Structure 1
Amino acid sequence: MGTNFQAKPDNIERPNRPMFIDPIGDLQPQVGMMGDSWFICATLEAEDREFGILVHYIKKPTLSGTSTIAIADISTSRYLLDEAKEADYETVGQGFKVSSDNLKWSADATTMAAQGKTDAGDSFDLKLKRQGPTIAYNGTGSFPLIDNKLTTYEYGFPRMDITGIVTVDGKNYPVTGNGWFDRQWFPVADASTLASGDTRWIWISMPLSKGEVVAVWSATGKQEHSWADILHADGSHTIADVDPISENMFGIWTSSKSNINWPSGWNVTIPSVNAKLKITIDFQGQETFEGFHRIESVTHIQGTYNGEEVTGRGCGEIVGDPQIKEIY
């Protein structure tokens, strides 16, 4: 490992469990880290429209931060992207403020406000309120992501109630919905793993209709590892094996912008909770280009969990070329 794990001070959310993250204290930047990332993916409904919202701020050790926003207009299958704007970060109390040409984002321990605007003039103005406990990945907030080499710290607020306005083509749409806030960082010492050329991953967030929250990781270096973190409705947490994600993709398409073959979704099987879930990306083209080529998409979830039918709206992220050779 590039970093020795050190437990954080006692955690008020789960005081009996050792943690490598502090859900509130770690809203602040991390010293000596690369890929220091703050991220929101939201699924929103208006009276007759659906939208997805992406908000992403990345702070690098020796460079200023960058902000990316996107509005997925699901009804018209358009991805309204504005990325790589230089952004400033300011610590405010227990929270922060991020400011750039395309994003104003503020946060404290329980609430957030995000205003984004693309160069074309489409925008959003959202209020978010945290509901329920933190999901600490791997149960502790730290795990080795790529071939047991890339030390990763990550946690999320998977249920954030959202109200606000999305403005597309000059029309305002009052919206409500759910947001998933994710916080992630990597040590600089492990940068060689990211630069090896073998690194790619898939992350899928799934708030399900029965109250469970599922986050699936599939990380590929020399070898693929696929697993799920499950935050149960009662607040307990399970880590579960997942059938290999790379073997369960469907609807492959080729991007005219990156020339990469991307999937349109995944069939996710989690044997220990008898889950068979079909995750479908709402439309093709939800692609970003800063740093790694990425898919940052809103998704529809349908299937069974513990033998019961479930649905959900979530997000899917693909970082790096998944190296799909065959179109099907």
Structure 2
Amino acid sequence: MTTSSSKLHAKSDNMEQPNRPRFIDPVGDLYPQKGMMGDSWFICSTLTAGDREFGVLIHYITKPTLGGTSTIAIADISTNRYLLDEAKEAKYEAADPGFEVSSDNLTWSADAATMQAQGRTEAGDSFDLSFKRQGPPIAYNGTGCFPLIDNKLVTYEYGFPKMDITGSVTVDGTSYPVTGNGWFDRQWFPVADASTLATGDTRWIWISIPLSNGEVVAVWSATGKQEHSWADILHADGSHTIADVEPISQNMFGIWTSEKSGIKWPSGWNVTIPSVNAKLKVTIDFQGQETFEGFHRIESVTHVEGTYNGEAVTSRGCGEIVGDPQIK
């Protein structure tokens, strides 16, 4: 694996599983990383209020030339609307432990176990949510460090995949008391080889699947010159498996063309993970969950059904597509 001049050494883990060697610290790395090409704090969530369903996206990212920006979105699943407010100038302040992010559309505070977030779009739709972490973090690749694209783009990443949520979502002037699950993800890129990004071929898919049987699955498909598809599985007993996945690009369905970007996007994926006998149909709830600032992305709410180790499972999760998937 190609590395950069960034520090690549094992860090202490002062949360669960303290004896496992990792390149991340789930508490200490809530703080910014120095000299990164991209430094990202992200939550996707699925929420219910009676028969109403919502998804809420929260994303704060810093880049060397742009500083910090915040993006929020409310996916109103009942009406198939994506209420987006993106790329507001945002400020980060360290707390002990944790952080506070503030901008015109977002106020977000966090420590090792809880988070509070209030967001408001220019149109006046809003959310006020409290998050409480449940269970251990997931360190991608088992260590929190892996080569994302063609063994060149070194990536550090971990997440809190189970966060209980309470609060409210307000749409069209009506406030809905909601509960649900959130997945917090922390990611940063040193960029060992900038040519990896310069080709324009770099793209990836990330799918979060907290299954009804207690297993947590994060599916990756990363494409540069080659496609690599795999899954990180955090088992109910806390153990971690890295598993092969049948190529995601060959298992897309429901192709549609965005009127806003002109890009062809999938409506979902059939995910097969042979080692755990998993066949999962992941469906994006509705078209148009698209962001535009900097680079085109899909940040979508998904529903999942299928089998896992021979048993029926379901899930509500999120699907992310970064970059044009170049569907023919």
Percentage identity across paired residues of the two chains? 83
RMSD: 1.0
Q: 2:4 is aligned with what amino acid?
A: T
Give 1:62 deviation, angstroms.
Answer: 3.7
Equivalent pair of 1:32/1:188 in contact (CA under 8 Å)? no
Equivalent pair of 2:15/2:26 in contact (CA under 8 Å)? no
Give 1:195 deviation, angstroms.
Answer: 2.6
Q: Does 1:3 align with 2:26?
A: no
Instruction: Give the counterpart of 2:76 among 65, 68, 73.
Output: 73
Q: Does 1:141 align with 2:144?
A: yes
What TM-score do the two structures reach when normalised by structure 1?
0.97
Aligned position for 2:246: 243
Give distance in 2, aligned partners of 1:58 and 1:144. 20
Aligned position for 2:56: 53
Aligned position for 1:275: 278
Give distance in 1, aligned partners of 2:307 and 2:130. 32
Instruction: Give the counterpart of 2:309 among 306, 309, 316.
Output: 306
Give 1:220 deviation, angstroms.
Answer: 0.2
Give 1:34 deviation, angstroms.
Answer: 1.5
Q: 2:173 is aligned with what amino acid?
A: G
Aligned position for 1:122: 125
Q: Does 1:164 align with 2:171?
A: no
Equivalent pair of 1:11/1:19 in contact (CA under 8 Å)? no
Q: Does 1:297 align with 2:300?
A: yes
Aligned position for 1:222: 225
Gaps of 5+ in 2: none
Aligned position for 2:179: 176
Gaps of 5+ in 1: none
Aligned position for 1:97: 100
Q: 1:198 is aligned with what amino acid?
A: D
Secondary structure of residue in 2 paired with 1:194: helix
Equivalent pair of 1:3/1:187 in contact (CA under 8 Å)? yes
Give distance in 2, aligned partners of 1:20 and 1:66. 26
Give 1:216 deviation, angstroms.
Answer: 0.3
Q: Which portions of structure 1, spanning 4 or more consecutive aligned residues, are displaced by more than 6 angstroms?
A: none
Give distance in 2, aligned partners of 1:12 and 1:286. 34
Give distance in 2, aligned partners of 1:229 and 1:15. 19
Give 1:17 deviation, angstroms.
Answer: 1.6
Secondary structure of residue in 2 paired with 1:29: coil
Give distance in 2, aligned partners of 1:277 and 1:268. 5
Equivalent pair of 1:6/1:20 in contact (CA under 8 Å)? yes
Give 1:60 deviation, angstroms.
Answer: 1.4
Aligned position for 1:262: 265
Aligned position for 1:131: 134
Aligned position for 1:33: 36
Give distance in 2, aligned partners of 1:10 and 1:37. 20
Equivalent pair of 1:218/1:224 in contact (CA under 8 Å)? yes
Give distance in 2, aligned partners of 1:285 and 1:28. 33
Q: 1:157 is aligned with what amino acid?
A: F
Give the paired residue count. 325
Equivalent pair of 2:31/2:94 in contact (CA under 8 Å)? yes
Equivalent pair of 1:152/1:185 in contact (CA under 8 Å)? yes
Deviations for 1:66-113, whole angstroms, at most 9, x for unmatched residues? 000000000000000000000000001110000000000000010000
Q: 2:18 is aligned with what amino acid?
A: P
Q: Does 1:201 align with 2:218?
A: no
Give 1:188 deviation, angstroms.
Answer: 4.2
Equivalent pair of 1:58/1:65 in contact (CA under 8 Å)? yes
Give 1:192 deviation, angstroms.
Answer: 3.1
Aligned position for 2:189: 186
Give distance in 2, aligned partners of 1:243 and 1:73. 31
Give distance in 1, aligned partners of 2:151 and 2:258. 31
Q: 2:153 is aligned with what amino acid?
A: L
Give distance in 2, aligned partners of 1:188 and 1:273. 33
